[in-house]
Amino acid sequence: MTPIFPGSVDAAGQPATLGVLGGGQLGRMFVHAAQRLGYFTAVLEPDAQSPAGLVSHHHIQTTYDDPAGLAELAQLCQSITTEFENVPAQALQTLAQTRPVAPSAAVVGIAQNRIEEKAHFTACADVSGVTCAPYAVIETLAQLQAVQNERADLLPGILKTARMGYDGKGQVRVKTAKELAAAWAELGSVACVLEKMLPLTAECSVLVARGWDGQIVSFAPQRNVHVNGILAVTAAYEGNMPSVLADRARDAAVAIAQHLGYVGVLCVEFFVVDDGTEHGGLVVNEMAPRPHNSGHYTIDACDASQFDLQVHALAGLPLPQSRQHSPAIMLNLLGDVWLDANGQLQEPDWQAVLRLPGTHLHLYGKLDARAGRKMGHLTITGPDVDGVKAVARRAAALLSLPGLDAI
């Protein structure tokens, strides 16, 4: 790919413009990173008040599969990405006929389907050194009955829809064959995977960026805490997990990206399981073909954020190996923070929060606070880990945020 340099114009006088499908907070942070480098940006998103659309040079307000909207995006942009994995893969294929698109439709398609995703993890296990939890595919009644009769080893387990599951949605915990059948019916008898429940001790994720030329860089693993299936806390500092596991996770994420021929920023999530060894074992859970909530700390704690790397990769620029200059803890801010005990709206005490040293508040421009909705995040940085932890606990207490007990 020919690099797209910031500030350049083409023969028709069109400024260098990068496009993104999706107008949420990830798109907003991508737009900010691109604009800081000097690029124009275009967002295709149906919501007139989308966080990314409100700050972009161009907002194409159409559905993701609208032919006219896609044509306009391709006309405006020299290169195009997506901010979430549930964009129609066909839309990416259409754009790729005339413009560089990263990640590719094929890779996004794998991430959209847990069955294909797990097959990929299994196929590259010899290279990555890490595989996924034991699982079975359930797409038909015959497969359900086969699992009930022949795979008792998978129970208790978690039944997950193959598509459209995120933040704990589309998942049911089951203990018995009877519960499995009821859960599959509850989920609409759609294609699912049944994963064996493992004795988890921790969760972590790794961010990788890979360029068109195969250059690849990565961040150190971050340790994550989920509450009700939604990320609550990310701890990013040296010693957040045993170094032997951190090295394995980082190497595995790089191998997975290489195996895919991935271009862009990829997040790979892992479980740490109690396997009887000193540090435990590592199991790959899922991947996100985009920047990730757990990587938001990189904006304030690193000299190049995950969004900077997304811009560099998309434009064909060299990828800097980002350096983390401060230990960090990221606290996810859901709409619950704006609700009192009776569910009535209240303004959080930002005055008290922002008096705390090393606090960096990021709100996403969403006007309607609802329980469970991602409204922003708060990153705490500082010169030492103990100080960052202390401030994070004070901030969490002020905002009634869960999850820090596990860090």
Q: How confident is the model at residue 124, as a pLDDT?
A: 92
Report if residue 274 sits inside a domain. Answer: yes
350 class by beta-carbon count within 10 Å (0-12 exposed, 13-18 middle, 19+ buried) = middle
Whether 195 has a binding-site annotation, put simply, is: yes
Indicate the pLDDT class of residue 13, thresholds 50, 70 and 90: confident
2 pLDDT more than 70: yes
Q: How confident is the model at residue 257, as a pLDDT?
A: 97
Residues 267, 303 share a domain: yes
- When pLDDT is averaged across residues 154-168 and rounded to a whole number, the result is 84
Report if residue 123 sits inside a domain. Answer: no
Whether 228 has a binding-site annotation, put simply, is: no
386 class by beta-carbon count within 10 Å (0-12 exposed, 13-18 middle, 19+ buried) = exposed
Q: Which of 26-30, 164-168, 190-194, 294-298 has the weakest average pLDDT? A: 164-168
Q: What's the pLDDT tens digit per position in 237-288?
A: 999 999 999 999 999 999 999 999 999 999 999 999 988 887 889 999 999 9
12 pLDDT more than 80: no
Q: How confident is the model at residue 170, as a pLDDT?
A: 84
- The whole-angstrom separation of Cα 53 and Cα 41 is 10
219 class by beta-carbon count within 10 Å (0-12 exposed, 13-18 middle, 19+ buried) = buried
Whether 14 has a binding-site annotation, put simply, is: no
Residues 294, 223 share a domain: yes
Length of the chain: 407
- What would the two tokens of residue 156 be? 């208790």
Whether 175 has a binding-site annotation, put simply, is: no
Whether 166 has a binding-site annotation, put simply, is: yes
Taking each continuous run of H as one helix and of E as one strand, the counts in the chain are 13, 17
CATH (domain of 152): 3.30.1490.20
Q: What's the pLDDT tens digit per position in 276-286?
A: 887 889 999 99
Q: What's the pLDDT tens digit per position in 111-127?
A: 999 999 999 999 999 99
83 pLDDT more than 80: yes
Q: How confident is the model at residue 277, as a pLDDT?
A: 85
Whether 118 has a binding-site annotation, put simply, is: no
- With H, G, I as helix, E, B as strand and everything else as coil, classify residue 217: strand
Q: Which amino acid, 82?
A: T
Nearest to 55 by CA among 35, 84, 82, 76: 35
Residues 265, 242 share a domain: yes
Q: Which amino acid, 163?
A: R
Residues 212, 148 share a domain: no
Give the whole-number percent of the chain exceeding pLDDT 90.
89
349 pLDDT more than 90: yes
CATH (domain of 398): 3.30.470.20
Whether 83 has a binding-site annotation, put simply, is: no
266 torsion bin: left (phi>0), alpha (psi -120 to 50), beta (else): beta
217 pLDDT more than 80: yes
Residues 183, 144 share a domain: yes
Of 196, 213, 237, at which residue does a domain stop?
A: 196
- The whole-angstrom separation of Cα 302 and Cα 325 is 6
DSSP run (H or E) holding 272: strand 264-273
- When pLDDT is averaged across residues 176-203 and rounded to a whole number, the result is 94
Max distance between CA atoms of the chain, in angstroms, equals: 66
Whether 332 has a binding-site annotation, put simply, is: no
Q: Which of 55-69, 83-97, 160-174 has the weakest average pLDDT? A: 160-174
Q: How confident is the model at residue 169, as a pLDDT?
A: 73
Compute the CA torsion angle 265, 267, 268, 269 (nearest 10 deg): 180
Q: What's the pLDDT tens digit per position in 293-347?
A: 999 999 999 999 999 999 999 999 999 999 999 999 999 999 999 998 888 999 9
56 pLDDT more than 90: yes
Q: How confident is the model at residue 166, as a pLDDT?
A: 62
Residues 241, 342 share a domain: yes
Residues 206, 300 share a domain: yes
Q: How confident is the model at residue 168, as a pLDDT?
A: 61
Compute the CA torsion angle 216, 218, 224, 227 (nearest 10 deg): -40
Residues 142, 96 share a domain: no
Q: Please report, for residues 211, 212, 380, the alpha-carbon distance to residue 1 in angstroms, rounded to integers and kept in the order given.
A: 10, 7, 38
Whether 99 has a binding-site annotation, put simply, is: no
Average pLDDT in the chain? 95
Residues 92, 174 share a domain: no
- When pLDDT is averaged across residues 391-403 and rounded to a whole number, the result is 96
Whether 197 has a binding-site annotation, put simply, is: yes
Whether 27 has a binding-site annotation, put simply, is: no
Residues 253, 191 share a domain: no
Domain region containing 97: 17-101
Nearest to 191 by CA among 148, 146, 161: 161
Whether 196 has a binding-site annotation, put simply, is: yes
Tally of structural domains, the chain = 3
